[in-house]
Structure 1
Amino acid sequence: MTDLGGTSDAVAFEGEWHGPVVATSVHAGHGLRQEIAEAMVLEESERLREEDPYTDRIAAVVPDRVVTSRSRFEADLNRPRREAVYRKPDDCWGLEVWRDGVLSDELFEGSLATYDAFYDALAPRLDALAERGPFVLLDVHSYNHRRDGADGPPAPAVDNPEVNVGTGSLDHDLFGPLVERFTADLRDASVGCGPLDARENVAFEGRNLAWWVHDRYPRVGCVLALEFKKTFMDEWSGEVDEDRLEAVRKGLAAALPGLHDELERLR
Structure 2
Amino acid sequence: MQQQLSELEIIEHINNRQCFTATIIGGAFTLKIAEYLPAMSAAIHDGGNLRASLSENCLLDQTSRYYEEDPYTGSFIQEQTITLIAHDSRYEYDLNRNTQECVYETAWGKDIWQTPLTSEEVNESKAKHAQFYRIVAAIVEALVEDFGQCIVYDNHSYNYKRHERQDLPVFNLGTSSVKSDKWRPVIERWLHDLQSMQVDGIDVTAAENDIFYGKGYLAGFCHGKYDNVLVLATETKKVFMDELTGAPDSVVLPSLQTQYNNTVAKHTQWYISEFKN
Instruction: Give the TM-score, by structure 1 length.
Output: 0.87
8 A contact 1:187–1:195 mirrored in 2: no
Shift of 1:197: 0.6
Aligned to 2:6: 5
Matches within 5 A, 1:112-191: 112-131=126-145, 132-147=147-162, 155-158=164-167, 160-188=168-196
Distance 1:78 1:189 in 2: 26
Distance 1:134 1:113 in 2: 28
Structure 2 residue 65 is matched with structure 1 residue 47: yes
Distance 2:141 2:52 in 1: 33
Which of 78, 81, 89 does residue 63 from structure 1 map onto? 81
Aligned to 2:238: 230
8 A contact 1:74–1:85 mirrored in 2: yes
Residue-by-residue CA offset, 1:29-82 (whole Å, 9 max, x unaligned): 110112111221212211110111111111214231012110000010011122
Secondary structure class of the residue paired with 2:92 = coil
Q: Which runs of 5+ in 1 are unaligned?
A: 148-153
8 A contact 1:186–1:195 mirrored in 2: no
**Cα root mean square deviation, aligned:** 2.2
Shift of 1:95: 1.1
Distance 1:66 1:120 in 2: 13
8 A contact 2:70–2:158 mirrored in 1: yes
Distance 2:232 2:35 in 1: 18
Quick check: which one's helix share is greater?
1
Secondary structure class of the residue paired with 2:251 = helix
Aligned to 2:113: 98
Distance 2:117 2:75 in 1: 31
Distance 1:142 1:95 in 2: 20
Which of 209, 219, 232 does residue 210 from structure 1 map onto? 219
Shift of 1:167: 1.3
Structure 1, 114-123 or 252-261: larger mean CA deviation: 252-261
What code does the residue aligned with 1:188 have?
Answer: S
8 A contact 2:186–2:275 mirrored in 1: no
Distance 1:228 1:188 in 2: 14
Distance 1:214 1:2 in 2: 31
Distance 1:155 1:60 in 2: 33
Distance 2:193 2:235 in 1: 16
8 A contact 2:100–2:126 mirrored in 1: no
What code does the residue aligned with 1:204 have?
Answer: F
Residue-by-residue CA offset, 1:71-110 (whole Å, 9 max, x unaligned): 0000100111221110x22xx111121011x322221111
Shift of 1:155: 4.2
Distance 1:189 1:225 in 2: 17
Q: Which runs of 5+ in 2 are unaligned?
A: 8-23
Taking only the aligned residue pairs, the percentage that are identical comes to 31
Secondary structure class of the residue paired with 1:248 = helix
What code does the residue aligned with 2:152 have?
Answer: L
Distance 1:184 1:168 in 2: 18
Aligned to 1:20: 38
What code does the residue aligned with 1:156 have?
Answer: R
8 A contact 2:172–2:209 mirrored in 1: yes
Shift of 1:195: 6.0
Q: CA 1:266–1:3 in structure 2 vs 1: closer, same or farther (change >3 Å)?
A: farther
Q: CA 1:189–1:143 in structure 2 vs 1: closer, same or farther (change >3 Å)?
A: closer
Distance 2:173 2:207 in 1: 6
What code does the residue aligned with 1:118 have?
Answer: F
Aligned to 1:150: none
Q: CA 1:17–1:39 in structure 2 vs 1: closer, same or farther (change >3 Å)?
A: farther
Secondary structure class of the residue paired with 1:180 = helix
Give every structure 1 segment of 4 or more consecutive aligned residues whose post-TM-superposition deviation is greater than 6 Å.
none
